Structure 1
Amino acid sequence: MSDMTALAELTQAADLLTQAKSICILTGAGISAESGIPTFRDKQTGLWENYRAEDLASIDAFERNPQMVWSWYQWRRNLVKDKQPNPAHHALFKLQQWAETEHKTLALITQNVDDLHEQAGSKVTHLHGHLWRNKCSGCDSPYTEPVDYSQDSLLHCPHCEGLIRPDIVWFGEMLPQQEWRYAEHAVNDCDVFISIGTSSLVYPAAGLLQVAKQQGAAIIEVNLNPTQNPLVDVELAGKAGEILPKLVDAL
């Protein structure tokens, strides 16, 4: 993409945001990858190189071998514990502040389980759960005791003795109802839908873009590798950490 084309796309995106009353933003693994957090699609490394993420992040895997799944999540937590928000996260916080000042509605929704949006100051709704939270696999109660992330011993629920698991949506599980209802409402209400760092392949979240388009919203995509999705109106190709600060500056 030429510099002139990129500038025209950026200007068009800024114009759409300025005109919008309600904005919905969906972020995916690409935005966290820029902070050094490996995506699920990346090959596993070290002890886990013979496993696929899909074989570890499921209720079947946990029932079959809870120790292995818990150990893998403790390893992932240690992998990301020192990671910091990047310029894209900070730009989204500025965008939320701008929307508030301009009396616009802005819903920030993420498929990511890290807390980098929160670290940057944003209010965000998590569709796939939280890496740093745990719950009981038996009675679903939140597990609020401190967890030593350097240890991988299995933990038990103080209420029912069930095994403690990460509070994350695994393959084959339903999304959390309250968060999904919020996302559906935000998408049905928006004038502009921005997809950032997500392939829009993982359902049901991927369906949000289609719903937004069907009810007349303009679609902006920010992606290092554009998806070539015919529903996208404005394609901002490149790193979110480079594009989003420019977009905020253009408002």
Structure 2
Amino acid sequence: MGKKKHYEKALEDLQIELIGLTRWLRHTGKRMLVIFEGRDAAGKGGTIKAITDKLDTRAARVVALGKPSATEETQWYFQRYVAHLPCAGELVLFDRSWYNRAVVEPAMGFCTDEQYQRFMKACPVFEKMLVDDGIILIKYWLSVDQAEQEKRFAERAADPLKRWKLSPVDVKAREKYAEMGDLRDAMIQHTHTADAPWFVADFDDQKTGRLNVIRHLLDQVPDKLTPDKEFNLPPLKGKPKKDKVTAKAERVPEVY
């Protein structure tokens, strides 16, 4: 079996298990929150897409917040994230999270040193509150070497379908690779706790990293339910009928 086929088969098997995970969440009413952090182009979006691709959209939700509004900037820092926490039976995946304040914001000058220090002190307490309330919280840092990151940036710049992924902040961050690495290490040092540990995954090979993260995520919940069993559809009554829609509606032109 070739590498691509091996990846596709492994991913399919994992996605079947992910369906079982969401069934378990619905059955038990548990709440699960997964945070994905990492350098630009590490592979956060692709991993989240692989996780949610085959899931019921009512069972899993992706949160990717943009720049805070003027009103949000006056709120308690965690306030806008609290609104997106999972409800009973729900899986929520954060594509970046409150940890913007630990790495991106201080590196780019988007927060003061006082705000940064306050966050580092408050974050472990905030996360303990979430876990104590019953939320299953899992945090991943996707690690990628600078040479591989540069290669992915070049691919994005050359591909019109991926160019939108390059933001002005991404471009500016290329000048701060070492600084952001130091901030990441300080973040993990201060916020890796027994209640909410960090898990680091090697993402120089995105497909392998993706499989490893999904496998690890599934292993955090040993009591998953299996997907729905195969069943036979009841026979159709009568002959298949052509769908006739009222002529009142406008027709989509058949261009292709």
Provide the TM-score with structure 2 as the length reference. Answer: 0.33
**Structure number with larger C-alpha Rg:** 2
Which has a greater percent of strand? 1
Provide the TM-score with structure 1 as the length reference. Answer: 0.34
Which has a greater percent of helix? 2
